[in-house]
Amino acid sequence: MTAPRDLDPITLEVLRNAFPAIAGDMAVDLQRTSYNMMIYEVQDYCCALLDADGQLISQNIGGVSHFVADLGVVIRDGVARYGRDGFAPGDVIVTNHQRVAGQHLNNVCVYTPFFFDGALQAFAVVRAHWVDIGGLSTGFSAASMVSDPWMEGLQLDQVKIHEAGIPDDKILRLIRDNIRYPDSSMGDLRSQLAACKLAERRLEELFARYGRDTIFAALARIFDETETKCRNVVRSMPDGTFEAESFLDPDGGPGSDTVPIHAKVTISGDDMTIDLTGCSPQRNSAINARTLAGPYIAYKGLTGALEPVNEGSFRALKVEIQEGNFMMAHYPAAMAGWSRALPTVVDTILKALADAMPERIPAAHLGTLGGSMTFFGKDPETGRDFVLQTIEGGGWGGRPWEDGESATVSVCQGDVRNAPVETIELKTPVMVDKRALRNGSGGAGRFRGGLGIETQMTNLVEGRWSLSNRGRRMCPPWGLAGGGAGSPSINTMRAAGEDDFTPNDPVRKVAAPRSSVCVATAGGGGWGDPLDREPDRVLDDVLDEFITIEAARIDYGVVIDAAGVVDEKETEALRARIKAGRRQQGEGA
């Protein structure tokens, strides 16, 4: 991949934009043809191009960002399995096996080889969330009930389902027969294949126009320039070693206790090392993973959050993590809850840099993937199976320059979004009673934390509910620079005929018609002293029903009179008393 002397800048820029455009076209094709709302609404997928060595050429903008770390691992494993000469035009390979890129089995990876002039040049890859892959996988994996991968679902380990363009009907029937909702999952498989075939056609056009040498010379230049941009950003950061820790709630395994997360970030010139060796050993629960997604996402956010991603984006990053760490667990550790820890890992890496870069680092956000809601069963009127899936976002941390965003999915999910109310009610026998910002959930601060969401639904027929919104209730989203913590999440449920909701984390729980569930996601932490927030902005929060009048007085020292106006004199006096009390408390300590 040595750049020829005649690689002109116009050709370079055309190709620099062409590869992300191909990945974007794949995403459009996938969304338009997929069968389940986790793909066409929630966007729980990624589309990418990789070279024959597993180097990332491009990934679509949008969809799931935490897949970025594991696509090259899958391709390199496939090449090791079959050999570079073991692929042919028309091959289709499917894999979701946890020994390679440990995720829940619903995340199914489909890829095809691209050939030009008779030689293997690249791979087109789509990883997408299937509605079911057998076992306890319906909707989202039932992590609290899974103790090994075989309980979770069907494991596909680099299986060729098409060879040289000929489908293997025996394997396809085997997969179909082990899935509860085969029409949906096999339809999504065809959508993934269509997206890969589209990428092959686009690559054929590029290679035919520019030639292999120019294509790979441009990629070498693009990778180098991306690496240089990242190094320039790191070079602007202070040198040193910075550490932080946090934890997840007890994970439910034998002898369960809190799950420690420890991040150490070392910056030396333009090199950054993220050390996660202080995190928990692998667990006796399904919270394990096998991925570098946490440090990759943190590094990408710090060095070029809005830049297209490619192999050069991570060349200057060194990740230290040992085998047997719960983020690099040995197969067959249960991994159905693989993604639960990732947002907190990213938050903790950023927290480590908070003192070194106070002008850049936000307070903690919701810290989990959000409130996932699954309801499935059979509609007695139509006789049709149904599966509802959505992920409800939460609050992001206040930043050194502005409030945190509300109702937004985690840092690990890119442009993932919740399923629209209209789609939920049209496609499933469920009524959405409420979807609203959660009053008072954002942590107090000069810049307030973003608000979580309250989403309430009532099922109109009997079915099974699964809610996942746990992981950070004992370690709520922390504030920075004197800001307060955000409110932790809570799930509640009301059985048919009952008046009140009570805390409940149902997993595949049978619910009679007219039962209701409510997911309240966490708010983000606040940034800066709440007493430094302008009283008029506090009043705006009250008027917008983000906080109560009482919270304005207690948390912000702002007095609002009966007419809904800030009492400036009383506010000044109250804030003075609060500061005096802090000084006395500090002296007493």
DSSP line for 32-92: HH-SSHHHHTS--EEEEEEETT--EEEE-SSS-GGGTTTHHHHHHHHHHHH-GGG--TT-E
In whole angstroms, give the CA distance from residue 542 to residue 458. Answer: 30
Position 3 scores a pLDDT of: 47
Q: Residue range 80-89: average pLDDT?
A: 97
Residue ranges per structural domain of the chain? 9-226, 362-527, 532-588
Nearest Cα neighbor of 445 from 395, 399, 396, 405 is: 399
In whole angstroms, give the CA distance from residue 127 to residue 68. Answer: 10
Q: What is the pTM of this model?
A: 0.95
Whether the pLDDT of residue 203 is over 50: the answer is yes
Question: Residue 554: is it exposed, middle or buried by C-beta count within 10 angstroms (0-12/13-18/19+)?
Answer: middle
Calculated CA dihedral for residues 147, 151, 154, 157, nearest 10 degrees: 30
pLDDT digit string, tens, across residues 139-175 = 887 888 999 999 999 999 999 999 999 999 999 999 9
Position 1 scores a pLDDT of: 46
DSSP H helical ranges for 111-181: 149-152, 169-177
In whole angstroms, give the CA distance from residue 13 to residue 5. Answer: 16
pLDDT digit string, tens, across residues 490-532 = 999 999 999 999 999 999 999 999 999 999 999 999 999 999 9
- More confidently predicted of 229 and 142: 229
In whole angstroms, give the CA distance from residue 59 to residue 41. Answer: 19
pLDDT digit string, tens, across residues 86-139 = 999 999 999 999 999 899 999 999 999 999 999 999 999 999 999 999 999 998
User: Checking DSSP bridges between strand 271-275 and strand 317-320, what pairing results, if any?
Assistant: parallel
CA 201 to chain centre: 30
pLDDT digit string, tens, across residues 252-289 = 755 678 999 999 999 999 999 999 999 999 999 999 99
